[in-house]
């Protein structure tokens, strides 16, 4: 029997996935400044707000494994976060799991009902297909969150742009404030 090296390395400590088919993108402030309540003119438009790694093995029923790395930045007191989305196919769920840092996972249904779960190293989150999901970094360190979902899920950002998450997360004097 041949013993092979793994094709992918999931480096929890440095927050990267390495391997042949790994896709990686950086989300810059100028690309998502509209998701925050206010604009911070002191923040460079090229500031990396978060990074996303993912890979899949191809095939007809593609399963993706990903990692999101969200930096501890505040925008006039508002905690940094992902853009947030529904899955295009509302039947497709996703699993998130906390790797490092502290945060909140916001869930929003199509009726506008919202709730959140705390995210930390070892936390595990099952996101049913009918919930939009957004990660917020509430800590002083980088928040790293793993994810597993099917490519067939797709991403629907438009619904969130039209009807945004009703709550925002702020950090004032080290205390979290949800407004
Ligand atoms: C995939 C998924 C994550 C996010 C990533 C960035 O379905 O939920 O991989 O895509 O956390 O967040 P968005 O896509 O909202 O910018
Ligand atoms: Zn998703």
Residue 83 is assigned to a structural domain of this protein: yes
Task: For a ligand 1 pocket test, name from 29, 63, 66, 134 the mutation site with the most ligand atoms within 8 angstroms of its C-beta.
Answer: 66
Has residue 1 been placed in a domain? no
Is 143:119 a contact under the CB 8 Å cutoff?
Answer: yes
Identify the residue whose C-alpha is closest to ligand 1 atom 15: 84
Does residue 141 lie in a domain region? Answer: yes
How many other β-carbons are positioned within 10 Å of the β-carbon of residue 156? 15
Is the ipTM higher than 0.85? The answer is yes
Predicted confidence (pLDDT) per residue in 19-45, tens digit: 888 999 999 999 999 999 999 999 999
CATH of the domain at 83: 2.60.120.10
Does a structural domain hold residue 3? no
53 in a domain, yes or no? yes
DSSP states of 154-177? --B-HHHHHS--S--EEEETTEEE
Report how far ligand 2's centroid is from the alpha carbon of 86 (Å): 7
The answer to whether position 26 is within a domain reads: yes
pLDDT of residue 59: 81
Residue 105, domain member (yes or no): yes
> In which element (H, E) is residue 25 found?
strand 23-28
Q: Whose Cα sits closest to atom 6 in ligand 1? A: 82
With a 6 Å cutoff on the Cβ, whether 66 touches ligand 1 is yes
Q: What counts of helices (H) and strands (E) characterise the chain? A: 2, 15
pTM score: 0.96
Domain with 84, as residue range(s), is 8-178
Residue 164 lies in a domain: yes
Name the closest ligand to CA 25.
1
Strands 132-137 and 124-127: unpaired
Ligand with an atom nearest the CA of residue 105: 1
In which residue ranges of the chain is pLDDT below 70? 13
Q: How many domains does the chain have?
A: 1
């Amino acid at each position: 029997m041949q013993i092979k090296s793994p094709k992918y390395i999931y480096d929890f400590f440095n927050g990267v996935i390495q391997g042949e088919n790994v896709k990686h993108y950086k989300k810059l402030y100028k690309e998502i400044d509209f998701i925050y309540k206010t604009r911070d003119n002191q923040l460079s438009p090229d500031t990396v707000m978060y990074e996303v790694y993912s890979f899949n093995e191809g095939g007809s029923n593609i399963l993706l494994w990903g990692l999101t790395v969200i930096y501890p930045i505040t925008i006039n007191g508002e905690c940094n976060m992902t853009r947030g989305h529904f899955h295009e196919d509302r039947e497709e769920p996703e699993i998130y799991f906390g790797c490092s840092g502290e945060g909140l996972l916001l869930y929003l249904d199509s009726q506008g009902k919202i709730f959140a779960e705390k995210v930390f190293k070892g936390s595990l989150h099952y996101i049913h297909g009918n919930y939009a999901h957004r990660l917020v970094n509430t800590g002083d360190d980088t928040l790293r969150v793993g994810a597993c979902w099917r490519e067939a899920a797709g991403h629907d950002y438009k619904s969130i742009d039209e009807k945004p998450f009703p709550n925002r997360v702020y950090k004032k004097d080290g205390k979290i404030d949800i407004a």
